[in-house]
DNA sequence: CATGAATGAGAGTTCATTCAT
DNA sequence: GATGAATGAACTCTCATTCAT
């Protein structure tokens, strides 16, 4: 594939990404993509032969960008508590739809397609996040900022809560207060000198 | 509406319910319903003019049946811990898809349609469950079975975790061990003499 | 299927028959049919879901009508030689495209689709014709109109020649003289007092 | 056209020939050719602007090679009966698809395109074969191997039978026994001392 | 000459929805 | 009320063909 092709493919993926953000996954048709990209019907099929294929590419791209997000937070000179706070802040922004996101499309996609665990992006991201949180908590415990007897369990609990919140946000909407409340709850659990 | 009509409507809703369980929400077409019900196309339209409308009726019906589920557990002579264990057992069954459920369809529906909070079934059920759990926890604290400083917060935490687990179950699959782990985690948090 | 449906289906098949006669098999699209029948796209799909299916119905219809053709000739009070002459006359008309026919479409269909021998219309018709010809020849021999040592072999030879002529007619065109010549040749073979 | 161009054109024609053998005429697309030849889309169009044009070139090439086939048989020191037997053996191989052939594609082509007699390859080949057979028969009669009053008629009859058999082979399949039977029949007709 | 990305016409197919009976 | 045939919009997908490089 030529350099130009690569560029165009990237352009399509990025344009499509916007559409998926806006309309979710299931509603998007090849026609939508074609129109948004201002290319011909056949032209699109040169690169992707279904919205599924296209969305999977969007996902792949997303993943590449995503990996460093966490690292950015961590490499900074900050206490575990600060990093955690930052992490929650970031999550909160997304939960409240302050920044447009693929969230809804991603869930629709995974509802519509049974993806085996091995390649399941959702699972991978979840597990990765649990791993980072666990380390963060352990570091906090070490420094006596946190108190926690089961860091991995706690990390998982946090992630499931966040997933629950995300779903709530997409299916009913959620108030800032509600998000804060949940974040406070898990934070307090860590800080509590019990 | 005549008695016969009411019967027929009910029949349609119940048949449709089965289809939604099987195929989710988005994939179901009016044709699917018509065929499953063995009625005429036009006949269906006399009662429902879209799968959306139909699904909403399914949901309404579901809700009526659902309310007593909890009560059944509670009215028994059992300690809060026992009732909670029962509640979790029930949840676990659904999480592991041991019993067919509308779960997937419900999420698909709420992803596809923005439903205002007031009438949002998902929210109502969530809030109701939180309320019951909260009372349960308070009762447990009273009897010194549980230890908990923020029953409502804890109840909410539990419900968000369950929602997270449910999503995990629908989008990636989840192992029994994973469910048990999470249940254990929140149970231990209540029992811990801290 | 209602009476009206049956009528409409028949109407479609008959209209399609005309198109197949005109354009052959492979060139015909569902759109052609739709336009010729003046029905809607979806309407056609109610009855047939491909030109193949439709053509097969045309074929089936054709077959029903065809069976008696031979019998008509035979039940008459005529000598075998006369009947044979009549048969050839009929064949000639078709060979020279004096009457529009499905011939071309039929061949295109059987070229495009490998049909097992059992259900193969072409084979059935061929075998049936051989059988009738054989009996005709035997009857002629009995009456000493014909001379033939191997009626079945002769019948088969005739049919293969006719098939060859038919192909010639469709792929290159054939002159009346050429047809006559071949018919004469096989006729003479039967009549020759050798 | 440069030497290189001529080579390339030849290469395309030969590759295409293989595809036509495999898929017939109508099913083959320019894309198929392009892929099989591993050349560019535009590149193909420099030489041929349709599958029709390309197939016609294949046909032309075929014809050049074909002419000597017969001669090979004839120049040998063999009796007419032996040559004829050889000829039938060759025909039989093709009829039974023992060797891959353009047969099906050729018929599809001539069904799809009305080609005037003058340039019609099928007619030319037929007439040529009749001519050779006629001479062969006459030679046989001379040597008293054969008995035949109308060599040309007989030659034509043979060729039409062979054409019929070929069609049968492509549209229904034909057994070796059936082929043998027909060949025997025409052979016997020649040998019969009547 | 050669490439292969791009085009757009057009075939196929499905579905929600209507309406005469 | 009930039927189911009919409609037509919308979508998917493929191909011959062109054209800038």
The DSSP annotation for B11-52 comes to HHHHHHHHHHHHHTTTT--HHHHHHHHT--HHHHHHH-SSHH
Cβ contact, residue pair B167, A162, below 8 Å: no
Task: Give the pLDDT confidence score for residue D120 in this predicted structure.
Answer: 87
Q: Would you say residue D167 has pLDDT above 60?
A: yes
Tell me the per-residue pLDDT of B71-93, one tens digit each, with 9 for 90 and over. Answer: 655 666 789 999 999 999 999 99
Q: Do the first three CATH levels of A1-60 and A74-194 match, i.e. the same topology?
A: no
Tell me the per-residue pLDDT of A53-82, one tens digit each, with 9 for 90 and over. Answer: 999 999 999 887 766 556 665 666 789 999
Q: How far apart are CA D33 and CA C108, in angstroms?
A: 22
Task: Give the pLDDT confidence score for residue D1 in this predicted structure.
Answer: 61
For D106-112, what is the mean pLDDT?
93
* Chain D residues 46-65 within 7 Å (CB) of strand E: 46
Task: Give the pLDDT confidence score for residue C71 in this predicted structure.
Answer: 63
Chain A contacts to B (CB-CB under 8 A): 24, 26-27, 104, 107-108, 110-112, 114-115, 117, 120, 122-123, 126, 150, 153-154, 156-157, 159-165, 167-168, 170-173, 181-182, 185-186, 189, 194
Q: Cα D115 from chain centroid? A: 17
Task: Give the pLDDT confidence score for residue C113 in this predicted structure.
Answer: 92
Task: Give the pLDDT confidence score for residue A99 in this predicted structure.
Answer: 81
Q: Would you say residue D179 has pLDDT above 60?
A: yes
Q: Would you say residue D20 has pLDDT above 80?
A: yes
Question: What does the mean pLDDT of chain B come to?
Answer: 91
Task: Give the pLDDT confidence score for residue B46 in this predicted structure.
Answer: 95
Q: Chains near D, with 3+ CB pairs < 8 A? A: C
Low-confidence ranges of chain A (pLDDT < 70): 1, 66-76, 193-194
Chain A interface test: which of B20, B114, B160 (most A C-beta within 10 Å)? B160
Task: Give the pLDDT confidence score for residue B64 in this predicted structure.
Answer: 79
Question: Sign of the C-alpha dihedral, residues A43, A48, A54, A59?
Answer: negative
CA distances to A169, B22, B153, D5 from B160, rounded to whole Å, are 12, 25, 11, 72
Which distant-in-sequence residues (6+ apart) come within 8 Å of D193 by Cβ?
D147
Task: Give the pLDDT confidence score for residue B148 in this predicted structure.
Answer: 94
Task: Give the pLDDT confidence score for residue D63 in this predicted structure.
Answer: 79
Task: Give the pLDDT confidence score for residue B126 in this predicted structure.
Answer: 93
Task: Give the pLDDT confidence score for residue B69 in this predicted structure.
Answer: 54
Chain B contacts to A (CB-CB under 8 A): 24, 26-27, 104, 107-108, 110-112, 114-115, 117, 120, 122-123, 126, 150, 153-154, 156-157, 159-165, 167-168, 170-173, 181-182, 185-186, 189, 194
| Closest amino acid to nucleotide F12 (CA–C1') | A30
CA distances to B10, B187, C94, C156 from C87, rounded to whole Å, are 67, 93, 11, 15
| CA R_g for chain A | 19
Burial class (CB in 10 A: 0-12, 13-18, 19+), C96: middle
Tell me the per-residue pLDDT of B17-65, one tens digit each, with 9 for 90 and over. Answer: 999 999 999 999 999 999 999 999 999 999 999 999 999 999 998 887 7
Question: What does the mean pLDDT of chain D come to?
Answer: 90
Distance C2 CA to F3 C1' (A): 11
Cβ contact, residue pair A182, B117, below 8 Å: no
Task: Give the pLDDT confidence score for residue D85 in this predicted structure.
Answer: 93
The minimal CB distance from D170 to the residues C111, C160, C162 is found for C111
Tell me the per-residue pLDDT of B131-181, one tens digit each, with 9 for 90 and over. Answer: 999 999 999 999 999 999 999 999 999 999 999 999 999 999 999 999 999
For D128-146, what is the mean pLDDT?
93
Low-confidence ranges of chain C (pLDDT < 70): 1, 66-76, 193-194
First-residue to last-residue Cα distance in chain D: 61
Task: Give the pLDDT confidence score for residue A146 in this predicted structure.
Answer: 95
Cβ contact, residue pair D157, C162, below 8 Å: no
Taking residue D178's Cβ as centre, other Cβ atoms within 10 Å add up to 17
| Structural domain spans, chain B | 1-60, 74-194
Cβ contact, residue pair A111, B112, below 8 Å: no
Question: What is the fold, at CATH topology level, of the domain defined by A74-194?
Answer: Tetracycline Repressor; domain 2 (1.10.357)
CATH code of B1-60, in short, is 1.10.10.60
For D84-104, what is the mean pLDDT?
90
For B97-115, what is the mean pLDDT?
90
Task: Give the pLDDT confidence score for residue D100 in this predicted structure.
Answer: 82
Question: Sign of the C-alpha dihedral, residues A25, A30, A35, A36?
Answer: positive
């Amino acid at each position: 594939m030529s350099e130009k092709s690569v560029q165009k493919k990237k352009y399509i993926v990025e344009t499509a990404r916007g559409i998926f953000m806006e309309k979710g996954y299931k509603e998007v048709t090849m026609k939508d993509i074609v129109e948004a990209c201002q290319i011909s019907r056949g032209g699109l099929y040169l690169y992707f032969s279904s919205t599924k294929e296209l969305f999977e590419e969007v996902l792949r791209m997303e993943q590449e960008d995503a990996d460093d997000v966490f690292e950015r937070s961590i490499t900074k000179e900050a206490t575990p508590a600060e990093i955690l706070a930052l992490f929650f802040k970031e999550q909160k922004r997304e939960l409240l739809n302050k920044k447009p996101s693929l969230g809804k499309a991603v869930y629709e996609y995974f509802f519509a397609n049974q993806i085996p665990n091995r390649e399941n992006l959702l699972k991978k991201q979840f597990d990765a996040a649990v791993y980072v949180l666990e380390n963060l908590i352990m570091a906090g415990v070490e420094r006596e900022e946190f108190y926690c007897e089961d860091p991995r369990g706690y990390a998982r609990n946090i992630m499931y809560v966040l997933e629950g919140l995300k779903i709530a946000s997409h299916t009913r909407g959620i108030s800032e207060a509600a998000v804060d409340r949940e974040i406070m709850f898990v934070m307090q659990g860590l800080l509590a000198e019990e």
